[in-house]
């Protein structure tokens, strides 16, 4: 038997499908309600409801619709009928393509972007994401050029020096 969270996700996905059958706007509102009812950060809610993970509400809605098609093909017509989009590729199903945070809940999207920007600034303040000397690449290429130019001029050293100098320009060590 599936765990409780998977059952709840299937219920949410079923509600989204039922809403999309009525109208696209109502379907987006169903997604928005799922996002707002999720306890946690906007990013976690987005991951639970709209991500491409197999256990998200969005992907579960696709899976439920695919299961309905299979049931109807097998002759079991006692359950819910598949939506009119069930046989289409994911990219053409509105409950798949319209399920973006920006379209479903613009306010939550703005909060999510602000939260990501805050996290980025915190990481920059702690010293992460600082690029100095191209992660030592420029320094290593410059050292190669200096070594090649100051050693005996063989065809190999000439090629090394031309390659190094053409990649970074004239290094300051040679000025």
Distance of CA 171 to the CA centre of its chain: 40
Domain co-membership, 99 together with 167: no
Burial of 52: CB neighbours in 10 Å, binned 0-12, 13-18, 19+: exposed
Domain co-membership, 16 together with 102: yes
Neighbouring residues of 66: CB distance < 8 A, sequence distance ≥ 6: 86
Domain co-membership, 163 together with 78: no
- The answer as to whether 159 is a domain residue is yes
Is pTM, for the whole model, over 0.75? Answer: no
What stretches of the chain show up as alpha helix (H) in DSSP? 4-22, 24-37, 42-49, 57-73, 94-97, 101-104, 106-125, 137-150, 155-168
- The answer as to whether 165 is a domain residue is yes
Tens digits of residue pLDDT in 21-67:
898 888 888 888 888 887 777 778 878 888 888 888 889 999 999 99
Positive or negative: CA dihedral 30, 90, 94, 114: positive
- The answer as to whether 19 is a domain residue is yes
Domain co-membership, 112 together with 148: no
Quick check: 171 pLDDT over 70?
A: no
Domain that holds residue 39: 4-125
Give me the chain's average pLDDT, please: 79
Distance, CA of 47 to CA of 121 (rounded, Å): 22
Neighbouring residues of 162: CB distance < 8 A, sequence distance ≥ 6: none
Number of domain units in the chain: 2
Q: Which residue has the higher pLDDT, 150 or 137?
A: 150
């Amino acid at each position: 038997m599936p765990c409780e969270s998977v059952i709840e996700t299937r219920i949410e996905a079923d509600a989204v499908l039922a809403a999309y059958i009525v109208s696209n706007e109502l379907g987006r509102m169903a997604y928005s309600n799922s996002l707002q009812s999720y306890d946690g950060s906007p990013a976690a809610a987005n991951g639970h409801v709209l991500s491409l993970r197999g256990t998200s509400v969005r992907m579960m809605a696709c899976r439920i619709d695919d299961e309905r098609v299979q049931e109807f093909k097998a002759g079991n017509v006692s359950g819910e009928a598949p939506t009119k989009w069930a046989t289409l590729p994911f990219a053409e199903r509105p409950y798949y393509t319209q399920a973006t945070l920006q379209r479903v809940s613009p306010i939550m999207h703005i909060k999510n972007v602000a939260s990501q920007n805050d996290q980025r600034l915190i990481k920059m303040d702690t010293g992460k994401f600082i690029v100095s000397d191209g992660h030592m690449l420029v320094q290593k290429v410059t050292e190669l050029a200096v070594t090649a130019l100051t050693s005996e001029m063989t065809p190999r050293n000439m090629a090394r020096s031309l390659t190094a100098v053409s990649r970074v320009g004239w290094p300051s060590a040679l000025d």
